[in-house]
Amino acid sequence: MNNVQLRVYMDEHTRKHTLVAGILMTLIGVLGILLPQVMSLTVSVLIGWLLTLSGIVLGYQIWHNFSHNWQNWLKPLLLLLAGLLIMFNPRAGAAALGLLLAAILMLDSYANFSLAFTLKPLAGWGWMLFNGFVTLLLSALIIAGWPSSSLVVVGIIVGVSLLFDGLTLLMLGWKARP
């Protein structure tokens, strides 16, 4: 999309809001990178609240529609308990997120290795193999330092994601100027 097309879709009011949102997201992302423990605990507490609220909403729905079977109460009870546990112990929640991240990276590494050997006759297949090794190394580093590394790793990853979201919004708003 070039500048002419962007101007059609983004008026000056929208452009200003996009720039403000981009600045705020970028700042939050930088704070997350600079204070990864704070970001990890914040994300953990947020997930705890979301699980708790989901348990309450599902429990309400079960109460009004399906309360005759005790097994229907298992899911809302588990959501509520998991949410409360994470909210009251956000370090454990961050540790769980770190372990989940390590598992995802390990699976990603496996996929990279598989794709590298599938692409082997093509030029550049070694980059995919290298990517697999780097991803496996990142996973191993998280596991080696787990659970304490989770407070740093989760915060940095969320911070980097928010930083790039903010930079993307800034570029969209900047390119849309008249």
Kindly report, residue by residue over 115-141, the tens digit of the pLDDT: 888 878 777 788 888 888 988 998 898
CA gap 150, 103 in Å, rounded: 13
**Residue pLDDT, tens place only, 141-152:** 889 988 888 889
Instruction: State how far the Cα of 106 lies from the Cα of 58, in Å rounded to an integer.
Output: 33
pLDDT at 178: 62
Q: What is the pLDDT of residues 78-119, one digit of tens each?
A: 999 999 999 999 999 899 988 998 899 899 899 989 988 887
Which among 53, 50, 43, 55 is positioned nearest to 98, based on CA atoms? 43
* pLDDT band, very low/low/confident/very high, at 2 (cuts 50, 70, 90): low
pLDDT value at position 3? 54
- What is the distance between the alpha carbons of residues 115 and 109, in angstroms, rounded to a whole number? 10
Q: Tell me how long the chain is.
A: 178
Report which of 166, 161, 158 is spatially closest to residue 35, judged by C-alpha positions.
158
Which tokens sit at 101?
């991240």
Distance of CA 122 to CAs 109, 110, 117, Å? 19, 19, 10
